Amino acid sequence: MSTTENQQQWMKAAIQLSIDNVRNALGGPFGAVVVKDGVIIAKGANAVTATNDPTAHAEVNAIREACKVLGTFQLTGCDVYTSCEPCPMCLGAIYWARPDRLFYANTKADAAAIQFDDQFIYEEIALPIAQRKLATHQLMREEALEAFRLWEESNEKTEY
């Protein structure tokens, strides 16, 4: 099987997860798989409403599972296939997980067309904190810096 055929096979798996999720009324129409060395090592589907967890997006669920399988917090050497262009939260999680590549099927415009519109988050992130719709206030910075100082001085830390 060619690389393109493999990539299509893995994307089909992500898409099928999204379809099954809707058909089984388990959550939103999103699915994701993580592939390493030509094998799907983790799958995830949107479980926001099923778990009452706003972070239970397909990509986050797949990343969590892949990290458990691999016993690490990074997905170096892995590819992520997702049925839709990731939202800002998922994109951030994907960057933090550090896979080699990301593949997606539907676009964020496709998602917006069915009321999964994340554009406002992208716009909010670009604004200065004081201009954002979510009232945000800084408190106790000096006290909180203690944890950062301890981290910086620690010989026990695992950097990432």
- What is the identity of the amino acid at 130? A
Rounded CA separation 157/160 (Å): 9
Please provide the size of the chain in residues: 160
| Annotated catalytic residue, options 5, 59, 85, 156 | 59
Quick check: is 159 catalytic? Answer: no
CA contacts within 13 A on the Cβ side of 95:
7
Q: Nearest 5°: CA angle at 132, between 128 and 133?
A: 175
Where in the sequence numbering do the catalytic residues fall? 59
